Structure 1
């Protein structure tokens, strides 16, 4: 059996979505001096890098990127970050992942950051699949898709291209 890939967003459209999300993050943090962009390991971090790049172009905010290491197969395992608690305490933080599917990864990421007082806390995803089993939402999203549970969203991040597929 072969799996057929249907392209949902091509590189141009993905870049437009990323730019729009970056502007939304900037608008919601326009009164801040600094924002932390915390990307979940894998494509979430690659998406976060793109957001940081654009935020640095369009704003005067100090933008700091943080890698959030979550074991997606064992989300109860300890979560670590490349920043110390002191680095993001009482600051504005945006937790970033590529796809919001069931909400498991995002909710455990949210839980980790809620253990520290933050000035503002938001979430961003490139694709929201609307299959949540946890009460977590994306404050900033590129596209919302109503898909069947059997379908899978795959994002290819390469140096020059970013494509979103429904498989």
Structure 2
């Protein structure tokens, strides 16, 4: 099947910049934000967002943690750093929001702490979900068939593109 690119490197950079500004605007009174990237690509996006947030507003304290889970069977979830998430803003980040299942499971460990707010971010969102998950920050929303898949390409700490296959 042929790759149909829907985002290139420059467009990804613009989308992430716009999302970073949205995060600051929607959390203007917050002192701390926890970025929780779903490994592997979500973690890369989280690190990019962290840098952008620091350049926009250096007064916000930003924590960056990784969420490890098997996307096919997401029952065993591990967080890279344990901190007190009580009354904190947490943004769960993934590269693609497909069915909503991965993001839903990734949110689960934070619920025990009673966070102030949990938001979600996806670089690419498919418009047909099978789980009740709303993505708060979206780079690109795409209508696809159930047979099509979206892939995000990463080189090091740079998101280089996204394609439909």
Normalised by the size of structure 1, how large is the TM-score? 0.93
| Counterpart-to-counterpart distance in 1, 2:129 and 2:111 | 20
Residue 66 of structure 1 deviates from its aligned partner by: 0.6
Residue 131 of structure 1 deviates from its aligned partner by: 2.4
The one-character-per-residue Cα deviations of 1:2-60 (angstroms, maximum 9, x if unpaired) are x2111101111110000111111111111011100000011111111110110011112
Q: Say yes or no: does 1:134 pair with 2:126.
A: no
Residue 85 of structure 1 deviates from its aligned partner by: 4.2
| 2:110 aligned residue | 113
Give the unaligned 5+ runs of structure 1. none
| 2:20 aligned residue | 22
Structure 1 counterpart SS, 2:131: coil
Within 5 Å, give how 1:1-167 maps onto structure 2: 3-59=1-57, 60-77=59-76, 79-86=77-84, 88-159=85-156, 162-167=160-165
CA RMSD of aligned residues (A): 1.2
Residue 89 of structure 1 deviates from its aligned partner by: 2.1
| Counterpart-to-counterpart distance in 2, 1:137 and 1:162 | 25
| Counterpart-to-counterpart distance in 2, 1:162 and 1:55 | 20
Aligned residues of 1:38 and 1:65 also touching (Cα < 8 A): yes
| Counterpart-to-counterpart distance in 1, 2:124 and 2:115 | 25
Q: Which has the higher strand share?
A: 2
Residue 161 of structure 1 deviates from its aligned partner by: 5.2
Any runs of at least 4 consecutive aligned residues in structure 1 with deviations exceeding 2 A, and if so which?
A: none
Equivalent residues, number: 163
